[in-house]
Amino acid sequence: MQWKVTRFYDVSNESLGEGAFGRVRKGTRRSDGLDVAVKTISKARLGEDDYKYLIREVAIAQSVAHPCVMGTYGVFETDTSLHIVSEYMSGGTLAQVMTAWSTFTEEQARGIIYELMHGVTYLHSIGTVHRDIKPDNILAQGKDWPLHVKLSDFGLARQIGVPPSPVGSAAHLPTGSSGGGSSGSPTADSPPSSSRAGWPATVAAMAPTTAAAAPPSPSGLFHGTPSLKEPIPVSSSPVSLVPVAAGVVSAPGSPPPPAATSSLLMRTQVGTPAFAAPEIMRGDPYTDTVDVWAAGVVAYTLLCGRLPFGEDAETPREMVREVLAGVVRFPEDSWAGVSPVARDFVRHLLRVDGAARPSAAEVLEHPWLSGR
């Protein structure tokens, strides 16, 4: 049976955002008056592969539950549309907050990064790598300080260390939705062939020719910065290292056992170039510490109002060179008054060598966040 979203939610005409595949409107849960956001996507505008990736995104979004990660209440599918009901974040994106405020105190920046890193640590503990952390994908619960934020948008997320399951199958549709999705395969992570739209041509040229990139993510529909889609998996049969049912998880960012190494590595260039780690830029295999790098870029930007790399680059090639060099500078005209421990924190996250970069859990132990 197909349940209509309007059976449980009143959906207004107040638009919260629009994109090529649909729009987001404000809604209210009938049972208790809770404000929600309802993303309505027209299935007629989706190709078969777009639909598969969208269903996978929904599956990941509904598998997470943490105060610093945006929650999804339900998904309703009809013959023509897909309705995704999630938390209503009245403050908008962090990008919008940054535009409105232009500058932040160090204490304000610390509060935002503290909550962001708790969300990232949680995701990594359950074997999920976000891969597109940026201000557009961090949402604010309100507009007053202290600002509380949540990580959102799992269109480029990858689950590692857990066995893949078919993408686009009815089994992936959460409670409140009906079947009818396209059947998938255990190797459904493999994207359709496409150009690396959204990446500088110099970066695309540097990537291995054996890894095909996928089309723009349908999940990025309502965010401003173009992102790239998911990768060809290194292994089609990842070894499970995260037995969630038993409550056992491997330490986030810790080296995997030798036999499982290939299962925990990702290869394809995805994400947003300004926030992508050097190993992604080079097309090298990478781990969950790419999220730590991206968080470091966010922290740098919050503290001084500029990007750490490529802010003044005249060409995409220059930006790529700056990222690969990884030289973190703190010009006094924009860093005056920022504490040494905050600068050390940024350097800590923006280590070029992904293997030397701290895990998300270790980031939370840094004195700038822990206060120790």
The CATH number assigned to the domain holding 137 equals: 1.10.510.10
What is the pLDDT at residue 18?
78
Instruction: Give the per-residue pLDDT at 205.
Output: 33
**Can you give the residue range of the structural domain that contains 343?**
92-160+196-370
Type of residue found at 14: E
Q: Tens digit of pLDDT for each residue in 186-206? A: 223 333 222 233 334 333 333
- Could you tell me if residue 256 is inside a domain? yes
Asked if residue 180 is part of any domain, the answer here is: no
User: What are the structure tokens assigned to 46, written together?
Assistant: 């989706």
In a domain, 79, yes or no: no
The residues near 45 (Cβ < 8 Å, ≥ 6 apart) are: 20, 21, 22
Say if 104 falls within a structural domain: yes
Cβ proximity of 194 and 122 under 8 Å: no
Q: For residue 15, is it within any domain?
A: no
Nearest to 156 by CA among 201, 191, 181, 126: 191
- Residue 69 resides in a domain: no
Number of domains comprising the chain: 1
With a cut of 70, list the residues of the chain below it in pLDDT.
1-2, 20, 161-264, 372
In a domain, 71, yes or no: no
Q: Note whether 257 and 296 are within 8 A (CB).
A: no
Tell me if 154 is assigned to some domain. yes
What distance, in Å, lies between the first and last C-alpha atoms of the chain? 55
35-42: strand order across its sheet? 9-18, 22-29, 35-42, 81-87, 72-77
Q: In this predicted model, what pLDDT tens digit does every residue of 55-98 receive, in sequence order?
A: 878 889 889 999 999 999 999 988 888 899 999 999 999 999 99
Q: What is the pLDDT of residue 161?
A: 67
